[in-house]
Amino acid sequence: MTITYTTAEQTSINGTDVVVYTCPADTVAIISAAIMGNTGGVSESISNLKIGGVEYISTKNIATDGQILPEIEGQFLSATETVTVSATASTLNIRLSIKERNV
């Protein structure tokens, strides 16, 4: 069993179901931290955030200084599951801290 710490990042989120992270095959993962940034100077919003196709966040405003996303911290992912986010503001970005373990 190998444990790996990694990060996943997506900048300029502008679209539907933009993939932020995909859990590798033969691996499980847990999201230990999730931070959403906003570089635009005005509040923007994400329309949804999904893990493995299940919606965890629906229409959340992101302040100009960004914010953490406690709604997804501690969530587990099985092999090949993805984290996706939808937004129409290219000033938004997301960063995940992830702990992976081979199974």
22-45 pLDDT, tens digit per residue, is 999 999 999 999 999 999 889 999
For residues 98 and 6, the answer to whether their CB atoms sit within 8 Å is: yes
Tell me the C-alpha distance between 72 and 21, whole Å. Answer: 13
Longest dimension (CA), the chain: 45
The full set of domain ranges for the chain reads 8-98
Where is 91: in which H helix or E strand?
none
For residue 81, which of 33, 32, 21, 35 has the smallest C-alpha distance? 21
Tell me the C-alpha distance between 103 and 92, whole Å. Answer: 34
Determine the topology of domain 8-98 in CATH: Jelly Rolls (2.60.120)
pLDDT tens digits, residue range 50-89?
A: 999 999 999 999 999 899 999 999 999 999 999 999 998 7
| Tokens representing residue 82 in the block | 């993805």
The reported pTM is: 0.93
